[in-house]
Each structure stands twice: as C-alpha cells, then as structure tokens.
Structure 1
Amino acid sequence: MILLRGVSKARPRVTEVAAGKLAELVRAYAAGEVNRRDFIKLSLALSGGLYIPLHDLGPWGNQAFAGETNIPTGLPPSPLFGVRAFTQPMPRFDVLPRKAYAPGQGVMAPIPAFPGQSGPDPTEQANTTRQPVPAVLGGGTGPIEGRPPGPVWAHQQWQDFFPNVAVEVTQEGAKPNTVYQPGVPSALNSGIDPKAAFRPAFHPDLPDQGPLAFWTFNGTFPPKLLIGRYHEAILFRHHNRLPADPTRNGGFGIHTITTHEHNGHHGAENDGFTGAFFFPGQFYDYHYPICHGGYYSLNLEASDARCGSPTEAGGIDKLAGDYRETMSTHWFHDHMFSFTAQNVYKGNVGMFNIYSSLDRGNEELADGANLRLPSGSDKSWGNLDYDVNLMLADKAWDRDGQLAMDIFDFDGFLGDVMTVNLVYKPYFEVERRKYRFRILNAAVARFFKLALSDASPMIMIANDGNLLPSPVVLSELDEMGIAERYDIVIDFSRYRLGDKVWLVNLAEHRNGRRPHEDLSLREALVGKSDDPCVGRFCEFRIVRNPARPDKSQVPAVLVPNPDLSRIPVAATRVFEFGRGANQTTSDPVSTFFGPWGIKTDDRDMLAADFGRISAAPRFGTREIWTLKNGGGGWDHPIHIHFEEGQILARDGKLSNVPAWERGRKDVYRLRPGGSVTLSMQFRDFGGMFMEHCHNTTHEDNAMLLRWEIDDAGGAFLRPLPTPIPTPQGVTFLPPTDILKSAFR
C-alpha cells in the first residue's frame, strides 16, 4: 500500500471501510432493495468526511492505493502478470450461424446447452405462453418471451418482411469457445486454429474471466459478428441465460437486458428500448427487416440497381427505397435502463455487417453498382478475407485478473488497458494489398484518435456505418466518440515483407469528461503521456504477398447524400445536454436520479424518465434538431435512435463541418461548448425511441430522453403506454409526463 505525500496513515483504513459499505450498497441495489435515488444519496453519504472524490471510493480507492501514478480508472493499476504487448494474434470476430427460416419446420431448434429452450416459432405479437419463474425473482409464472405483449409491440411490417433467416444467441457467463467460426481460413486470421478451444481471456498468459466477471454473447470470446443483407429479414432470438439472482454479478452489471441494434431502421419493438428489458429464463425475438430508408415512399417501382441486395448467383435484387440511405457497419449492445455502461463493458456487445448492391463484399464483381471495396471474392457476397472488424475498448481488472469497474465515477469510467477484439494489444498478420477495417469505439467513456506509427495515409470511407459521399485521405483520424464507427482502407502494398506498422492512439485522458489533449504522433510514440492507453496498441505484420492480384478499389464517389432541400421542415427542436438536472416524476422503475440531464426547447433540465415523452415528430415529416452542449468542459457524443441525420452546421456554420462528417450519421460529437444542427426524417416505422449521450456513464446517470412516432397508423394513434417489465409479465402505464412542446 503506497500513500500519497501528506495523506494520513489512517486514510486507507477509512477508505477500506467505505469501500466495504459501498460494495454492500451495490449488492442491495442489484437486488432491488434500494432504489436509484436512495442509491445515489447513500453513495454520497458514504463519502462524507473523506478527502477524496466519490469515484475514488470504488472497490479500492485509487488515491490511497495507487501511489503517484496517473491511472485514470479510479482503481489500482491492472496487473499484467508479466504479459508483453504484441505477443498474441488478434482474433477475427466470431461469425454467428445463420439458419434459413421456414415456420413449422423445426428450424428454431434447441441450443445444445439448453435443451428445449429455443422455443416455438416466432410470432407477430409477443409469445405469452407461461413458464415457472424462479423464487428469487418472485416465483409464480411468467411469459416465455420478454417482449411487451399486444399490438403496440407487435412486429411492424411483419408480412412485408417475413424473416428469411434466424440467428439465435444466448447471454451468459464466460466459458471456452469450442465452435469458433471466424469466416476466413487460418492464414487470414494470423494463424489461429479455429478448432482449438478459445479461452475467455484477454491474453493466453492472463487468467480466464469467470462466469460472473464477463457476460458475453453465447458466453464466449471473440466478439460476435452478425451478417445480413438488404431485404433479407433476420429473426434475432436472444435468450437471457444470466443468473436469476441479481447479486451474482461479480460486483457490477445487472441480469436484465435489452438489445439495441445501433442505427437499425425498424420498428421500436426491435430497437432495444431501454424500458423493454427481459429477465433470465426469457427470450426476446428481435425482427430486423433491413430495408432502405424511404422504402414505402421512394423508388416504389424498384428500378434502380444501386438500391438492391446481392443474390447468391452474383446478381442484384432491386428494391424500393433510397439507395443513398444504404448502411454498412452497425453494432448491437445492451441498453438496460441505468445499467448500459456496466452491461456493455461486461461483454454485451457485437458488430453487424450489412451488404447491399453497392457494398457487396465482393471486390471483383464489376456490374456498375458494386463499389468493389476491399473484401475478397470467393463468395458472391459477404467476403471477410480483407474486410476486418476492429472493436476498441479500454478495460481494467483486479488483482486476480478479473474484469473490474468503478461504478461511482459519474464523469465516465476509463480503463487502463487497451484491447482490440477483446484481447490485450495484439498483432495482426496482413498481406501486401488493401484492407478495409471497420473500427468501432466500444468504450464506456474513452475517445480515440488513431494514426499509423509511420504517419502514412489512411483512406476514410465511412462514418457511423454510412459510406461517405467521397473518400477522405487522412494521416490522423478525428477524435472518435463512443459508439462511432470509422471504416478505413489501409494499403499495405507500400510496405516490404517483414515490415511492421502499428495503430497508435493519440487521445490522452485524465478523466472521463473528454480527452485532455491530443498528442503528436512523436509524443505518443516516445511515451510522453501518463495515460496507459496512449501509444501503440495494435501491430500489423506484413507477412506475404497476396496469392492473387488485388482488384479492390476505393472509388472517388461512394454514396451521395439524399437531397432534403425540397422537403418542408415541419418543426425545429433544441436539445441541450448538461448537469444539474431536476426529476419531476417519481415512478420507481422508469426514472433516473443522477447529475446529468437534457433540456428540451429551453424548458427545465430534466433527468431521464422513460415514461416521459419529450418529442413526438409526425410520421412522414422532416425536422431540424439542434443539439447543444451545456458547457462545463465535457464532450458528449449524442446518439439518436432509428433515423440518421445530415449535419447542416457545427457551431452555427456549415463551414465548420469537416469532410468526414458530411455524410449521414447517428452519433454527433458536440465538443466542449459546441452545438450541432441536423436534418432528420421520420418514415416507414413508428413507436418509442431514444436520444442520449453515448458516454454510457452519462446515459446511465440521467442523460437520456424518450421520443416517439405515435401516428404511424395501426396501433400508433395517440401517446403510447409505457411498458413496465416484471418476471411475471409486462404491464403498461400511461406516460408519466408529456412535455408541452412534444407534439407539434
């Protein structure tokens, strides 16, 4: 135990006592014995009389234990057990099996580990067949499906997009992976043998993560990749196999989950609404139609080959909608009310590649529509050979090597160890040719700014899963906010065999508010920063020449933006993100009590309540939304669900919008004191959606609001009732609050 200069020798003992009490408080909160408002108040009370910030009262208390090092986690430094960087191969994502779906033919077969638990065929409305509920969850019986029942939560456009493919996953504790499917041969996966059991560890020489420490899709490493193509509707059945006892969580996280398909264009019943969570022993059937925006209003004759889906024979199925709304790189993650940060950090995260006639995943097909981006060519679509998913996340672990998190840091939790695809500082073997990298920031609060160690150029082709109007050549990428996706192309043909080059992070953090500063490449490489996540974190090894010529391209024109200038503006709205929020409602399930909040149209700064309707744009209209940072030196990456936007101005001027932000986006970095003005359309589907900060610590501490489209026809003709889930079934309550400016 190392004390800071001038710190009383009694302080560690006081800190240990407080840490023990806080741990008990966390257990009581997880068990539902303490509501969120009392949890925050008691947490603050436990810090009384101590000379350290609240987040330093996490499991150990960093200022009492960490000495004079600058570790921004709020925890002691993560032990590396002698492990060195770049001594393990980076695994490609684990591709989820796809099953052709036909009702009544036994396709929804049981998962081997849970015989009989796969359940019946999916249905348009939630399946309310009853099953026993464990005593720890209240006993009695409850529905097998956690989706709220009835027509309001029925799958929209079910018959138009009847599922062609079923994908089935579980959420469960970490275990070895004996069925790893990288989707590429071992030579293109840095020599990893997919037949060998893949341990749930951040490095072969680090301890395995225990089943309470890490909760992943199917319980296994590497992270999972969902593969889809336009108009091939997917039925994504998610089983909750987490412990029924909520206190068996390894110190953080909650066993109720709701899966958000980030940037998905589909009905709210499939969006992972924060209040539509489900319990252990239940499943939830998510329906992903994968259609272009404007499917019911534009290009109805389906005459444009650029708006289409790849066929198995190498052709194109032409579709309705706007080809300029084509999306490519999504991800999916938990969105549990007030626990998103903890559950995502704990392993509830995957990526989703979407293929189209434009973005075929076959670099050799030259048909006038296919952009021929780096991918491969063995299959007609969806080749992954040279199309690589990278998930960046900072982590921290305790003295036993088990994942740890300081849940009392309300500015934003930071880890002190860099991982790529859930492994510590790996290497990746590449050929001398072009590669596409789909990069996801899956951190809780950390921003990244990426460069190559030799300052050579990267070609940015997409932002937030949307191909840009034109590629942008950069030697350093912009700061990458949490949840943003940057697709880049790196041409390794400029290197010699045996060369190495590294991805480098230039963004230094001292806390979770925002990056403290961006270092120069030289400063990051020589180790100027005390932030352990600055510097080299992924090594590329150039190991061979390609076996066949590289025919991939990066065209000068990718996907132009839709022209919205002729669509009338139905309303303008202003949302300000800041601290000091009030809570005007008191429902114990749907309300947050926390320091963060959102002000709508110059009204009060309000803490989150998923029963409150803050905006209700009319179906089929366009609106102008301005997102403002309330100040205080924070940065907020704001995510708006369901519809992408086009940035019209940054800080009031179009000239302030850089080239890489001039495509369509779903995450909008406000920057300290800044604002973003954007154009939004509301089409095709309806229901209740969300808007929130994707610094998930901020989101979980009240920087979230609900908006809805409730006049889309069918069941949506008035303000929607709020679902209140329990293990015994979902009930509905009227909205707790409707802001006067919501309906216009």
Structure 2
Amino acid sequence: MYLPRDVSKARLREAEIARRNFAELTRALAKGEVTRRDFIKWGLATSGGLLVPVHGLSPFTSSAYADEFNIPTGLPPSPLFGVQAFTQPMPRFDVLPRKAYTPGKGVMNPIPAYPGVPGPDPTEQANTELQPVPAVLGSGYGPVEGRPPGPIWAHQQWQDFFPKVVVEVTQEGAKTNNYYDPGVPSSLNSGIDPAVIKPRFHPGLPDQGSLALWTFNGTLPPKLLIGRYHESILFRHHNRLPDDPAQNGGFGLHTLSTHEHNGHHGAENDGFTGAFFFPGQFYDYHYPICHGGYFSINQGENDPRCGSPNDAGGIDNLAGDYRETMSTHWFHDHMFSFTAQNVYKGNAGMFNLYSSLDRGNEEIEDGVNLRLPSGRDKSYGNLDYDVNLMLADKAWDGDGQLAMDIFDFDGFLGDVMTVNLVYKPYFEVERRKYRFRILNAAVARFFKLSLSDASPMIIIANDGNLLPSPVVVTALDVMGIAERFDIVIDFSRYKIGNRVWLVNLTEHENGRRPKEDLSLRDALSGKSDDPCVGRFLEFRIVRDPATPDLSRVPAVLCPNPDLSKIPVAAKRTFEFGRGANQNTSDPITSFFGPWGIKTSGGDMLAADFGRVSAAPRFGTREIWTLKNGGGGWDHPIHIHFEEGQILARDGKLSNVPAWERGRKDVYRLHPGGSVTITMQFRDFGGMFMEHCHNTTHEDNAMLLRWEIDDLGGAFLRPLPTPIPTPQGVTFVDPSDILPTALR
C-alpha cells in the first residue's frame, strides 16, 4: 500500500505528476472555484471521498499491483536526501514567553520577533475596533479581534479569573528561530545550541517554505505553554497567515480557531469550530486554569491538595475538587473542515499545567507534592527531567516540502516518523528517572509504543489526567489521535554508553484503522511494509546525574471524583459511522460526509456546527454511550470541556484496563465496540463539540455541537450560531435542533 523507496523512475514520474495535479485541485478548492461535491459529479471522486484511479491523479494508475486505489500517502515516497535515522538531536519544546499583565498599559508584545509594539488591553467582550480589510478578503473595514462580539461570547467569570499572565503568539509561515528557549541548559537538550534553529525536519533536509509549514511564531520546535492553577492566562493569538487563501502550499486554510484541548473554561475560549478568525486579526483566549467544581466544592479552600504552587515553594489553597487536577494538555487548530490540514501544517503545541499535587519540583516534600521526575531549581515547572514528546507521521514532496493528500477521506498517513517535528532523532539522557509527556499529534495514525529491550515503563497519566495509581507495562496501549500518556522511564538500569529506542508496534495500511499490532521482534525486523513501524527515537545514556535523583512514583497519584451520589439527569447514545445524510444546506455551517454521527437513535448526520445535538443541563450528571457503527474503522472520540470516567467497554467494567480507569477526554472506539462514560457539567457554559479525532473523519464530517445554555435556570433557547467574516461576525438562529437534544 506504500510506494517503495526503490520504485522505478517511471513510476516516480507518474506519482509526481499525480502530486502536481493534486496541488492544482487543492488550489481550486482553496479559492472556492470548486467543491468536493464537484469532484463526485465529474467522476473524479467516489461518494466515500477517495479519488478514483484516473490517469494523472493516481500514482498507481497502470500499475500491475494496483488492485485498489487506497494509497495512504497518495504521494511518491518522501525523499530523504541521504540523511540517516538517529543522526540529529531531538529538540525539546520551545517555551513560550510569559509576561505579567498590568491593566491600563496595553499588552506589550512579548514575542521576541515583534518587540516593543503595545497592543490593546484585553477586554471582557470582543474588541470591535475597526481596521482596513485587504481587497482579497472583500475590502472595507473589520474588527481587530475575531472573537464574536457582545455578551454571548464575553469571557465568562472574567472578574473571578482576571488575567495575571499574557502569552502572545503568531501563526505564520516557516522561518528561522533566533529566540529558541527550551527552558533547560544545552547539556539537558542533547547539546543543541539554541542560537539558531532552522525550519527543517533534519539538518540534511531542505528548509520548509513559508507556505508549506505554518507554526506558532512561524518557528520550530513546537511551542510549550506553561501554566499553574488559578494563574489565569490571556493567550493572544495573532493570525499572520497569507491574506490570499490560495497561498497555502497546496493544503490548509488561513482561518484559525485555537482549541485548548480539554481546557476547563467557557466555550468562547474553547476554539469552537465555527468561531474562526482571519489574517490580520487576533483572538484573545482566556484560560482561568481552575479545578472542576470551583464554584461548588471545597468553598472554604481548606484542602491543600486543591492548590497551586507559589513562588516561595509553598501552596496557595484554592476552591474546587483536587481530584479534577489536570497536568498535560495540548492546543491546536479547530477550523471547520480544515482541522486535519492546519494541524498537519504545524498548528499544534503542548501545555503543562502545574498544581500542588503535580508541582514540577521533585525536591519539595510536604505531604502533597507527588515529587514526580522534573528537577529542583525552580519552585515549580522544572523541565530538566520532564520532557514533552509530540509524535506525528509526515510526508514531503520531491523538493522536500511538507505535502498532504487531502482527498483520502478515510485518513491521511505519512511515510516518515517525526518526534517534535524532526525526523527520527536521538535524545541524550542521564542515568535516572525521566517523565515523558507523549502526545499522538498525527492525522489518522495510531501508535503502540515499547522500548526496544522490552523493559518496563510506568504510566502515571492518561490524556493529561493523573491516574489513581501508576501502572507498570512493557508496552503502552494503542494511542488514538490526540490521546496522551505520561510515562516514567528509569534509565538508571542502563550503563553509560548504552542505547535504547522507542519503537512503534502498530502497522497501518490505510487511515481507517490500524491493520495490526506487531510483536516487538517483528516490529524491529524491518519487514513491515509500513515505513513508520519500528524504531523512531533513540535514547543515548551519556552520564550519571550530577545530583541524586530525588524523584518518586508514589503508589497513590490522584483518585477519581465519586459521582455515584449525583443523580443521572439523562442518558444519551452517540453512534459514529459512514453513510451520513445532511438535512441542512447552509454552505457555511453544514458539510458533506461521508462520516457522521447518530444521536439517540436518530439519523446518521454529517456535521453542521449550527445544529444542536445535545443540551445537558448546567450542574447535572449524564451517562453517554459512544458506539462504533461498523467493524471496518477505528474512532478516537473527543468530548470537549469535561473529562469523563469510563463505566464500561462493550457493556462491561471488566473490559476497562487499568490505564483507562482514571479520567479521560479521548475514548478509543474499537471496531464495532462501545464505551459508556459518565460526566458532570459545571462552572462554565456555551457551545462545545464532540467528534472523532481522526481529524480526516472529523473534517468529513464526524462532528456535532452540544451546549450548556441554561446556567442553572430553565432552558430557554439554544444559542445563536456565529458566522465569521473579515468584516465582522454575525449571528443566525441554529439551523437544526434535534428532538432528543433538550431531554
């Protein structure tokens, strides 16, 4: 299913022609000159979304072994230009600058590349000051902030969580990073000189062009946001992408909506798929970073386990439920029907949250701090031995520029493994314990990880939520897209000079689901046709630590909230599958399938962000059953805003493994399987989403909107739907309200 690297020159020429023709089609799509429905009408695509094997579109056309048109990359093999695996150091994340916010002085831009330009103060409601709109976007004038205006999209609980810190970022095309800050000395970053970081996947590969790669601040490595509980962050995101939507390098769209994945805050800050903003605008996201139950539990603030680390090394007690503590988030684009393309282009970062439980200082022993591997120099947030890993498969064209086939609606697969957006690197470690926060940031690829010597790893968190107890494994469970595992690896068992590798065991032949999980021996053999199976990250054990390892992995981490005494207000069923219908026709809010969702026995419907599919009451608890409607695919389902607890897999609690018995926000639906979860809805409201996090499925169109709009009172009416334009955001009534939504 993959074009081999030793393929004939004739076949490579044919594949390159197909790639160029793909690019022409995507440019026409970006300009709005054609639609995907047009491709079906012209006989260029099937109703399932795949391009038919037409000469000049398929790299396998006329091939003797092309039994079906189902090529994961849809592209020629990514050229490596002679570079070898494990010949470059893995860069640690680039820590975003934080600046204390002083009201009345504006936001002094802390982005090093844009110094000294004060921006307007953040406001509770959107800033509607006008600015000129470029001709390519319709001319006239539009607001400086893309957030929908008025009280409906005002920042909730603004005074309770008034911003203390400003973090300001841009979204723009690739450029050299002259301001890289990994938060650790080069000795703990594999010797990388932070002076200059080129926008390359490897020093031996070409620089990525400004239209191929779109990242935060336009630079590599990926960005890391640092936060601690109750230190509210104002995250100002500037869109500096090209005004012309056709200037996209062949894929991606220049409008953005930034989702702070599973943040506990109002919908205006959630990155709702229909609340996108345009080039030249900014959007102020407000992250209060509070524990669930902030307004209803532990109101006396007398439990130090529900707290935040202060600069003196102590704890500031807070309201809320300490059992709702979160640790590892990420943030990414959520543009309607373009999430896969924009995230793949580089719109993804990670977010470490620090609490009195998970302080990021392994030295402080006060009976609350878990003392997980981190470091000791700062009162909180030490990164010395706490390492973020972003896994993603990529592909590039013959010029080495990032490339993507947008016409495979089952899910795009790349043929090159990257960690932190570089090709198969190495990472130097000391003989001690390390914490790794691992994120699957792929489009459609699942990963199952093992160490090459099958030695043990300790799982301490799943989806960023600390487990009740650690789980020791020799291989992680399969990671769906957007799932996270926080693990601890103890390198003290190795000798200086040893090497050990992280290995991917999961083999794919298409984007619908994994083909199979290989044994470690088979994955290491190099016999798999899947080029992303096998070793992908090399650990080099280089020295003993300069100071003793004081970190621990305690037997008790963070217990689950007990929801058993809260009445169940409603039960809902959501079934995910193919063959979706579309009962609305709005060209902005509705989208063509083939993927869709059934709600509580209704029709299988394609995405429409104007449709309300569920409306749980504020302050209640519900039970939701997520079902996979078929046996030929695999869906990692993400529910925004609230974590849930899994009550059953395929109807039985005994089917839930230990690493899924904490809180989660992504639930993998095995082929034909189901997951039953319980959640409660508190503290904030608005419109949220539920979708498959195979982002190709999500975009085409396995996504729905649900909302909390009653705020504890009688449900009056659903919220109006925002319709963004460069000249301003308007509101329309919901396009559809399902009969089961309000029950």
For Structure 1 versus Structure 2, the TM-score category normalised by the shorter chain is: over 0.9
TM-score by length of 1: 0.95
* 2:492 is the alignment partner of 1:493: yes
1:131-530 residue pairs with structure 2 within 5 A? 131-195=131-195, 197-530=196-529
Match for 1:242: what amino acid? L
How many pairs were matched up?
A: 733
Aligned partner of 1:42 in structure 2 is 39
Q: 1:476 to 1:59 in 2, by over 3 A?
A: farther
Tell me the distance in 2 between the aligned counterparts of 1:372 and 1:395.
Answer: 36
C-alpha distance after superposition, 1:53-107 (max 9, x if no partner): 5176799633249996997312110000000000000000000000000111344
* 2:698 is the alignment partner of 1:699: yes
Q: 1:737 to 1:379 in 2, by over 3 A?
A: same
Aligned partner of 1:619 in structure 2 is 618
Tell me the distance in 1 between the aligned counterparts of 2:563 and 2:53.
Answer: 49
In the TM superposition, what is the alpha-carbon distance from 1:22 to its structure 2 partner?
4.9
* 2:109 is the alignment partner of 1:109: yes
SS of alignment partner, residue 287 of structure 1: strand
In the TM superposition, what is the alpha-carbon distance from 1:29 to its structure 2 partner?
2.1
Asked whether the equivalents of residues 56 and 75 of structure 1 are also in contact (C-alpha less than 8 Å), the reply is no
Q: 1:505 to 1:65 in 2, by over 3 A?
A: farther
Aligned partner of 2:532 in structure 1 is 533
Asked whether the equivalents of residues 3 and 67 of structure 1 are also in contact (C-alpha less than 8 Å), the reply is no
Tell me the distance in 2 between the aligned counterparts of 1:102 and 1:587.
Answer: 43
In the TM superposition, what is the alpha-carbon distance from 1:30 to its structure 2 partner?
1.1
Aligned partner of 1:554 in structure 2 is 553
SS of alignment partner, residue 323 of structure 2: helix
In the TM superposition, what is the alpha-carbon distance from 1:530 to its structure 2 partner?
0.8
Tell me the distance in 2 between the aligned counterparts of 1:253 and 1:270.
Answer: 22
Q: 1:622 to 1:75 in 2, by over 3 A?
A: same
Asked whether the equivalents of residues 111 and 117 of structure 1 are also in contact (C-alpha less than 8 Å), the reply is no
Tell me the distance in 1 between the aligned counterparts of 2:280 and 2:118.
Answer: 11
Tell me the distance in 2 between the aligned counterparts of 1:134 and 1:476.
Answer: 53
C-alpha distance after superposition, 1:424-471 (max 9, x if no partner): 000000000000000000000000000000000000000000000000
Tell me the distance in 2 between the aligned counterparts of 1:586 and 1:347.
Answer: 32
Tell me the distance in 1 between the aligned counterparts of 2:431 and 2:56.
Answer: 47
Aligned partner of 2:603 in structure 1 is 604
Asked whether the equivalents of residues 71 and 416 of structure 1 are also in contact (C-alpha less than 8 Å), the reply is no
In the TM superposition, what is the alpha-carbon distance from 1:241 to its structure 2 partner?
0.0
C-alpha distance after superposition, 1:667-717 (max 9, x if no partner): 000110000000010000000000000000000001000000001169985
1:630-669 residue pairs with structure 2 within 5 A? 630-669=629-668
Q: 1:312 to 1:716 in 2, by over 3 A?
A: farther
Match for 2:600: what amino acid? D
Worse-superposed segment, 629-638 or 441-450:
629-638
Q: Provide structure 2 residue ranges, at least 5 long, that are not aligned to the other structure.
A: none
Worse-superposed segment, 331-340 or 64-73:
64-73
C-alpha distance after superposition, 1:465-521 (max 9, x if no partner): 000000000001000000000000000000000000000000000000111000000
Q: 1:598 to 1:279 in 2, by over 3 A?
A: same
Asked whether the equivalents of residues 86 and 426 of structure 1 are also in contact (C-alpha less than 8 Å), the reply is yes
Q: 1:48 to 1:31 in 2, by over 3 A?
A: closer
SS of alignment partner, residue 591 of structure 1: coil
Worse-superposed segment, 66-75 or 238-247:
66-75
Match for 1:170: what amino acid? T
- Taking only the aligned residue pairs, the percentage that are identical comes to 81
SS of alignment partner, residue 438 of structure 2: strand
Q: 1:539 to 1:113 in 2, by over 3 A?
A: closer
Q: 1:320 to 1:60 in 2, by over 3 A?
A: same
Q: 1:548 to 1:415 in 2, by over 3 A?
A: same
Aligned partner of 1:62 in structure 2 is 59
Tell me the distance in 1 between the aligned counterparts of 2:395 and 2:43.
Answer: 24
Asked whether the equivalents of residues 99 and 107 of structure 1 are also in contact (C-alpha less than 8 Å), the reply is no
Match for 2:204: what amino acid? D
* 2:562 is the alignment partner of 1:543: no
Worse-superposed segment, 100-109 or 682-691:
100-109
Asked whether the equivalents of residues 334 and 349 of structure 1 are also in contact (C-alpha less than 8 Å), the reply is yes
Match for 1:102: what amino acid? T
Asked whether the equivalents of residues 234 and 286 of structure 2 are also in contact (C-alpha less than 8 Å), the reply is yes
Match for 2:39: what amino acid? L
Q: Provide structure 1 residue ranges, at least 5 long, that are not aligned to the other structure.
A: none
Match for 1:47: what amino acid? L
Tell me the distance in 1 between the aligned counterparts of 2:552 and 2:228.
Answer: 21
SS of alignment partner, residue 62 of structure 1: coil
Match for 1:609: what amino acid? D
Tell me the distance in 1 between the aligned counterparts of 2:707 and 2:51.
Answer: 36
Tell me the distance in 2 between the aligned counterparts of 1:443 and 1:715.
Answer: 41
Tell me the distance in 1 between the aligned counterparts of 2:320 and 2:491.
Answer: 37
Q: 1:524 to 1:221 in 2, by over 3 A?
A: same
Aligned partner of 2:82 in structure 1 is 82
In the TM superposition, what is the alpha-carbon distance from 1:19 to its structure 2 partner?
6.4
Asked whether the equivalents of residues 21 and 57 of structure 2 are also in contact (C-alpha less than 8 Å), the reply is no
Q: 1:284 to 1:705 in 2, by over 3 A?
A: same
Asked whether the equivalents of residues 19 and 75 of structure 2 are also in contact (C-alpha less than 8 Å), the reply is no
Q: 1:79 to 1:17 in 2, by over 3 A?
A: closer
Tell me the distance in 1 between the aligned counterparts of 2:319 and 2:3.
Answer: 66
Asked whether the equivalents of residues 55 and 61 of structure 2 are also in contact (C-alpha less than 8 Å), the reply is no
Q: 1:618 to 1:59 in 2, by over 3 A?
A: farther
In the TM superposition, what is the alpha-carbon distance from 1:27 to its structure 2 partner?
1.8
Q: 1:115 to 1:439 in 2, by over 3 A?
A: closer
Q: 1:66 to 1:398 in 2, by over 3 A?
A: farther
Asked whether the equivalents of residues 65 and 76 of structure 1 are also in contact (C-alpha less than 8 Å), the reply is no
In the TM superposition, what is the alpha-carbon distance from 1:527 to its structure 2 partner?
1.1
Tell me the distance in 1 between the aligned counterparts of 2:52 and 2:371.
Answer: 49
Asked whether the equivalents of residues 19 and 57 of structure 1 are also in contact (C-alpha less than 8 Å), the reply is no
Tell me the distance in 1 between the aligned counterparts of 2:451 and 2:30.
Answer: 43
SS of alignment partner, residue 676 of structure 2: strand
In the TM superposition, what is the alpha-carbon distance from 1:718 to its structure 2 partner?
2.6
Q: 1:171 to 1:132 in 2, by over 3 A?
A: same
Tell me the distance in 1 between the aligned counterparts of 2:18 and 2:184.
Answer: 50
TM-score by length of 2: 0.95
In the TM superposition, what is the alpha-carbon distance from 1:45 to its structure 2 partner?
2.5
Asked whether the equivalents of residues 18 and 57 of structure 1 are also in contact (C-alpha less than 8 Å), the reply is no
Q: 1:159 to 1:153 in 2, by over 3 A?
A: same
C-alpha distance after superposition, 1:709-735 (max 9, x if no partner): 001169985310000000000000000
* 2:650 is the alignment partner of 1:690: no
Q: 1:11 to 1:107 in 2, by over 3 A?
A: closer
Asked whether the equivalents of residues 44 and 52 of structure 2 are also in contact (C-alpha less than 8 Å), the reply is no
Asked whether the equivalents of residues 333 and 350 of structure 1 are also in contact (C-alpha less than 8 Å), the reply is yes
Asked whether the equivalents of residues 617 and 743 of structure 1 are also in contact (C-alpha less than 8 Å), the reply is yes
Tell me the distance in 2 between the aligned counterparts of 1:58 and 1:147.
Answer: 45
Give the aligned CA root-mean-square deviation in angstroms.
Answer: 2.3
SS of alignment partner, residue 122 of structure 1: coil
Q: 1:110 to 1:434 in 2, by over 3 A?
A: closer
SS of alignment partner, residue 610 of structure 1: coil
Q: 1:566 to 1:629 in 2, by over 3 A?
A: same
In the TM superposition, what is the alpha-carbon distance from 1:113 to its structure 2 partner?
4.9
SS of alignment partner, residue 541 of structure 2: strand
SS of alignment partner, residue 309 of structure 1: strand
C-alpha distance after superposition, 1:548-605 (max 9, x if no partner): 0001000000000000000000000000000000000011100110200000000000
